[in-house]
Amino acid sequence: MSDDPMEHVDPIEPGLGALFREERARGHAPAASKERVARRVAQTIGGQGGSDGGKDPSGSAGEGTTTTTTAATGATGGASQAAGVVGAALSASRVAPVLWAFLAGGVAGGVAGATLAPPRVVVVERPARENVRPAVPVTAAAPASVTQPGSKVEELPAAVPAPQPSSAERDRDLGRNTALAREKGLLDVARSALGSEDGDRALAAIDRHTSEFPRGQMREEREALAIQALMMLGRHSEAADRGARFRQTYPHSVLAPVVDAALSNVGATDVRGFDAGE
Amino acid sequence: MLVVDDERSEEFRRLFDDNYDYVWSSLRRLGVQARDLEDVTHDVFVEVHAKVHTYDRARPIRPWLFAFALRFASDYRKLARHKTELRGDADGPTELPSAEDVVVMQERARILHAALEELSLELRAVIVLYEIDETPMKDITEALGIPLHTGYSRLRLARAQCAEAVRRLTARTGGRQP
């Protein structure tokens, strides 16, 4: 039996899993695309250095990070033309020799990823309860500076049109998304309260969710949060009972590791009702 | 005159070389249309070049890069002119042979991308990282700055919504269930 909690995650539907596996094999950009973008990146980096009096573009976070899509977009339409224009631009003395090296070695090299290897194979640590913190925007770890894509979008032909949903379908989807947003908002409050060690407030938000969405799309998340809140409040017996029901209702839940971690804080894992090696 | 030290430039060159396909594919999977992929990929790498000194070498590089791609894809999608044409662009500029099996594969890819397009970007990011990139959830949640619980929750929702969309899209196009 492995300690990997991901073994208890509900496997993805076979059909959907097959689609993702096929998509995984399609992760290659056209070779010419790589060369074009390499030249444009080199040009942009060189342009930044030339325009800011030689400041190191790494600078401090948020400084010296201007991107130049607008300038670069002019080279988008035709590859060979773009290469010519960019090549001429690169002849300017402001581009440092290291960028020539970047172009010469980087594009055609195809160096295997010896130092920057892909992510490790699935190994997820057992989650600790302190991992439950208020959610932060997904952009928190992302860069601050943003530019807009190219300006010629409207001039290009449209993609192959896909079947459009009917108005009834759109209305249904809209209503579902609105309800989901409301559900998510309530549970975010609970999550945030847990992160602040405020079990009472978390439980209040969870109760409200139960009242408003007894059969909501996120009731599985609600139950997992409720178990954590009860444990935080020292109501271990209630948490164990609820944990047992959680395991019965969602025997292969992706949230099982989170629930287990919460209950295991007082050795209450037996409530799962089945052996971990199942 | 541009001042760039050789070591940093070499690191960036290697990073670009090793991860160009990954960033390009991630942007495509996050909804950037084929015709804009080079523009947005360019923007991502310029930004990565500016921030490469902040990369923590103890962590895997790709989730870190994905966070850049996610940010740029998010802003890309906010542009109104892209919203009406986001579907049906599954295979990008790659030209494929016209054999029947390839047509079937293209249709399956189109359905998957259309299904992903129905997800919110936050759900889409998690399912792309988990199901396609095979990134461990711990690394996903660190890269996206979300609690582990939230990561699992988004994965569950993303799977359910994606499966429903695939079923519906498949039925609408008269195809077989994948």
Which of chain A's residues have a Cβ under 8 Å away from the Cβ of B131? Answer: 12, 17, 20
> How many angstroms separate the CA of residue A237 from the nearest CA in chain B?
22
Whose tokens are 């942007």? That residue is B27
Contact A190, A206 (CB under 8 A): yes
Dihedral, B43, A75, B24, B80 alpha carbons, nearest 10: 70
> How many angstroms separate the CA of residue B151 from the nearest CA in chain A?
9
Ramachandran class of B134: left when φ > 0, alpha when ψ lies in -120 to 50, beta otherwise: left
Of B76, B92, B169, the CB nearest to A149: B76
Q: Which two tokens stand for residue A257?
A: 């590791």
Can you give A215-274 as a three-state secondary structure string?
CCCCHHHHHHHHHHHHHHCCCHHHHHHHHHHHHHHCCCCCCHHHHHHHHHCCCCHHHHCC
* Closest to A228 measured CA to CA, from A219, A216, A240, A217: A240
Type of residue at A200? D
> Residue-wise pLDDT tens for chain B (178 aa)?
334 456 677 788 889 999 999 999 999 999 998 889 999 999 999 999 988 888 888 889 999 999 999 999 998 987 745 554 444 444 444 444 445 555 666 788 889 999 999 999 999 999 999 999 999 999 999 999 998 888 999 999 999 999 999 998 888 766 555 5
Cβ-based neighbours of B132, under 8 Å, separated by 6 or more: A20, A23, A24, A27, B29
The whole-number average pLDDT for the span A34-44 is 89
Which of chain A's residues have a Cβ under 8 Å away from the Cβ of B18? Answer: 111-113, 116
Residue A29 sits at the chain B interface (C-beta within 8 Å): yes
Q: Which two tokens stand for residue A95?
A: 């581009």
A26·B157 Cβ contact <8 A: no
Per-domain boundaries in chain B: 9-84, 91-178
Whose tokens are 């461990």? That residue is B136
Architecture of domain B9-84: Orthogonal Bundle (1.10)
Question: Which residue of chain B is at minimal alpha-carbon distance from A253?
Answer: B156
Question: Which residue of chain B is at minimal alpha-carbon distance from A75?
Answer: B39
Tens of pLDDT along A42-98? 888 876 543 333 333 333 333 333 343 433 333 333 333 333 333 333 333 334 444
Type of residue at A12? I
The whole-number average pLDDT for the span A196-225 is 90
Give the right CATH number for B91-178 from 3.40.50.300, 1.10.10.10, 3.40.50.1820, 3.30.70.860. Answer: 1.10.10.10
Buried b (16+ CB within 10 A) or exposed e, A124-161: beebebebbbebeebbebbbebbbbbbeebeeeeebee
C-alpha to C-alpha distance for A48 and A192, rounded to whole angstroms: 41
CA angle A218, A222, A226 (to 5 degrees): 175
Q: Which CA distances in Å does A158 have to A161, A165, B65?
A: 8, 18, 29
Question: Which residue of chain A is at minimal alpha-carbon distance from B143?
Answer: A141
A6 exposure class (CB count in 10 Å sphere: 0-12, 13-18, 19+): middle
Query: For residue B140, what pLDDT is reported?
Result: 94
Report pTM.
Answer: 0.54
Contact B158, B123 (CB under 8 A): yes
Of A67, A115, A257, the CB nearest to B46: A67
Name the residue with higher pLDDT: B174 or A153. B174
Q: Where are the alpha helices (DSSP H) in chain A?
A: 14-24, 31-51, 69-73, 79-90, 97-101, 107-109, 167-195, 199-212, 219-232, 236-249, 256-264
Q: Which CA distances in Å does B141 have to A121, B50, B131?
A: 16, 23, 14
Ramachandran class of A28: left when φ > 0, alpha when ψ lies in -120 to 50, beta otherwise: beta
Tens of pLDDT along B121-142? 999 999 999 999 999 999 999 9
B159·A12 Cβ contact <8 A: yes
To test the contact with chain A by mutation, choose from B153, B166, B167, B168 the residue with the greatest count of A C-beta atoms within 10 A, namely B153
Query: For residue A29, what pLDDT is reported?
Result: 85
Buried b (16+ CB within 10 A) or exposed e, B74-105: bbbbeeeebeebbbbbbbbeeeeeeeeeeeeb
Considering only A74-83, A238-247, A264-273, B111-120, which range has the smallest mean pLDDT? A74-83
Type of residue at A58? S
Within 13 Å, how many C-alpha atoms sit on residue A176's CB side? Answer: 14
B4·A116 Cβ contact <8 A: no
pLDDT at A175 over 90: no
Ramachandran class of A62: left when φ > 0, alpha when ψ lies in -120 to 50, beta otherwise: left
Question: Which residue of chain B is at minimal alpha-carbon distance from A79?
Answer: B38
Of A147, A159, A191, the CB nearest to B33: A159
Same fold, B9-84 and B91-178: no
Ramachandran class of B32: left when φ > 0, alpha when ψ lies in -120 to 50, beta otherwise: beta
pLDDT at A129 over 50: no
Arithmetic mean of pLDDT over chain A: 62
B166·A19 Cβ contact <8 A: yes
Query: For residue B144, what pLDDT is reported?
Result: 92
Query: For residue A103, what pLDDT is reported?
Result: 52
